[in-house]
């Protein structure tokens, strides 16, 4: 590579920065999806153990490390938020099935997002290599 065009270097640096910002935003989205998936799995575990609770008594976390013991009169009847502020009554088994479906969907979304992040990082590596080569060509004696 002969003398590098300063405009090309500036353009490459701009693209590198933009891709970096995109990768950061997508990584945060990936973390949120993972947290939602883990919450779904924890809810499944809680629902499955609800029916096995002795005397229908369970611990209800209130926050700040505080819990209370409560009696669940009908552990087979639960409320499920299905989105857009809508909550519906379901059986325990239906709620577990709903959450398992949600966890699978979140996992698929995570996979697609991870692939996109990897593509962006690959493009970033290519741009960084081009920038490095362009800067090296400008240093005398190399």
102-134 per-position pLDDT tens digit: 999 999 999 999 999 999 999 999 999 999 988
pLDDT of residue 104: 97
What domains does the chain contain, in order, with CATH numbers? 6-138 (1.10.287.370)
Inter-residue contact 12 to 109 (CB < 8 Å): no
CA dist 119 and 125 (Å) reads 10
Q: Sign of the C-alpha dihedral, residues 102, 105, 111, 115?
A: negative
pLDDT in tens, 62-72: 989 999 988 88
Mode of pairing for the β-strands spanning 57-63 and 86-91: unpaired
Distance from chain centroid for Cα 75? 30
Inter-residue contact 75 to 51 (CB < 8 Å): yes
Q: How many alpha carbons lie under 13 Å from residue 67 in its C-beta half-sphere?
A: 8
């Amino acid at each position: 590579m002969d003398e590098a065009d300063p405009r090309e270097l500036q353009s490459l640096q701009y693209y590198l920065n933009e891709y970096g910002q995109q990768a950061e935003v997508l990584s945060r989205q990936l973390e949120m999806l993972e947290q939602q998936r883990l919450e779904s799995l924890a809810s499944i575990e809680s629902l499955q153990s609800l029916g096995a609770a002795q005397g229908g008594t369970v611990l209800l976390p209130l926050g700040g490390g505080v819990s209370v013991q409560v009696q669940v009169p009908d552990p087979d009847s639960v409320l499920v938020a299905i989105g857009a502020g809508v909550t519906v009554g379901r059986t325990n088994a239906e709620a577990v099935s709903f959450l398992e479906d949600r966890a699978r969907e979140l996992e698929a979304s995570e996979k697609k997002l991870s692939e996109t992040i990897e593509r962006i990082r690959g493009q970033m590596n290519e741009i960084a290599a081009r920038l490095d080569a362009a800067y090296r060509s400008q240093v005398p004696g190399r």
